[in-house]
Structure 1
Amino acid sequence: MMRATSVFFVLLLVANAAYASSSIYGSEFDYKKAKPASTYFSGKNRQHVASFCKKEMLGTMDLSACAQFRYELAIEALNKRIQVVEKILEADDKDNGTYGEPAALPFFRKAQANWELYRDNNCYSDVYSVGQASLRFIDFWDCMTRITKQRLDELTNPSQDD
C-alpha cells in the first residue's frame, strides 16, 4: 500500500509540473491570444472597472487584468487616431498624386507595422528577462501601455519637439 501511495504521489507531482509548465507563467506568452479584460470583469462597465483598478491591495490576477484593461484602452485610442491619420494621408496622397508625387500612406502603414514589432519585442524582452514571476505580466501590460501611449502622443502632436 505504501508503494502504491508513493507511485501515485510521484505521478501527481509529474502531472502538476507538466500543468505548471503550460501555464502563462511557465511558457511563451502571446498577448494577441489573451482573452479581453472584459472577460475577467464580466458584467462591469468601463467606469466600474476603472474605479476597481484604482483600489489598493489588489491580488495578482486583479492587477494583471487591470494592467491589460489599461492597455486595451490605450490601443483603442491609438487605433482611432491611426484611422484619422490614414484618412488625412489618403487625401494628401490623392492631391499630391496629381503632381506625380509618391504616396505617403503605404510608408506610414509600414512604419506602423514596424513600430508594433518594436513595441512587442521590447515588452517581450522586458518580461522574459525577469524569468518566471507572478508580476511579470503586469509589467508586460504596463510596458505595452506606456509605449502605445507614447505612439499616440507622437501621432496626436507630431510637430512638438522635446
Structure 2
Amino acid sequence: MRSIIIFLLLSTISHSASAETIYGRTFDYKKAKPASVYFTGKTREQIELYCKNDRLGGFDLAACAHFEFEIAIDSLNKRVSIATREIEKNDKALRSEGEPEALPYFRKAQAHWEIYRDSYCYAEVYETGPASSRFIEFWDCMTRITRNRLHELAKANTDE
C-alpha cells in the first residue's frame, strides 16, 4: 500500500512539473526562447546548414523548425510594415476626399489573421495528442501559414 501511495505521489509531482514548462500540456509559443539561444554562437548560415542534416534528433529538429518560423515571421513583419506605409499614404488622399480609411481595417485583418494562424496550428497539433514530433509539427504549421500570408500580401499589389 505504501509503495502505491509513493508511486502515485511521484507520478503527480513529475506530471505537474512538466506541465509548468512551455512544453507541458498547453504550449504558449510566445514564451519560447528564440531559436538563437539553442544555437548560441552560430551564424544564420551555420544554423541553416546544420538544419539540413538528415540525422538530427528531436530537440534539434524542433529548434530548426522554430528557426524557420522566426525567419518567416521576420519576413512577414517587414512586408506588413511596407504595406502599412503604403496604406497610410493612400489613406491621406482618401481622408482629404472624405472617404473611409483602409488602415484600421488592414490592422484588424492582420490581428485576426494572427489569431487564425495560432488557433489553427494549436488545433492541428493538439489533435494528434502527445507525440515526440508535436513541437516540430507546430513550428512547421506556423511557418507554412506565415509564408502563405507573406505570399498573399506580396501578390496583393500585382494583377494576378
TM above 0.5, yes or no, is yes
Q: CA deviation at 1:23?
A: 4.3
1:35 aligns with one of 29, 33, 36: 33
Change over 3 Å in CA distance of 1:21–1:98 after alignment to 2: closer
Q: CA deviation at 1:7?
A: 8.0
Q: CA deviation at 1:74?
A: 0.1
| CA offset digits 1:118-161 (Å, max 9, x no partner) | 10000000010011111011000000000000000011111454
Give yes or no for the alignment of 1:94 onto 2:92. Answer: yes
Q: Counterparts of 1:160 and 1:99 in 2: how far apart (Å)? A: 26
Q: CA deviation at 1:18?
A: 3.2
Verify the 8 A CA contact 2:68 2:143 in the aligned structure 1: yes
1:46 aligns with one of 40, 44, 47: 44
Q: CA RMSD in A?
A: 1.8
Q: Counterparts of 1:59 and 1:108 in 2: how far apart (Å)? A: 41
The equivalent of 1:148 in structure 2 is 146
Q: Counterparts of 2:133 and 2:110 in 1: how far apart (Å)? A: 29
Q: Counterparts of 1:25 and 1:80 in 2: how far apart (Å)? A: 29
Q: Counterparts of 1:7 and 1:123 in 2: how far apart (Å)? A: 39
Q: CA deviation at 1:12?
A: 4.2
Rg larger in structure = 1
Q: Counterparts of 2:18 and 2:146 in 1: how far apart (Å)? A: 31
Q: How does 1:124-143 map to 2 (within 5 A)?
A: 124-143=122-141
Q: Counterparts of 1:90 and 1:25 in 2: how far apart (Å)? A: 40
Normalized against structure 1, the TM-score is what? 0.89
The equivalent of 1:113 in structure 2 is 111
Alignment: residue pair count: 157
| CA offset digits 1:73-97 (Å, max 9, x no partner) | 0000000000000000000000121
Q: Specify every segment of 5 or more residues in structure 2 that has no aligned partner in the other structure, as ranges.
A: none
Q: Name the amino acid aligned to 2:140.
A: D
**What fraction of aligned residue pairs are identical, expressed as a percent?**
52
Change over 3 Å in CA distance of 1:21–1:87 after alignment to 2: closer
Q: Specify every segment of 5 or more residues in structure 1 that has no aligned partner in the other structure, as ranges.
A: none
Verify the 8 A CA contact 2:125 2:138 in the aligned structure 1: yes
Change over 3 Å in CA distance of 1:110–1:57 after alignment to 2: same
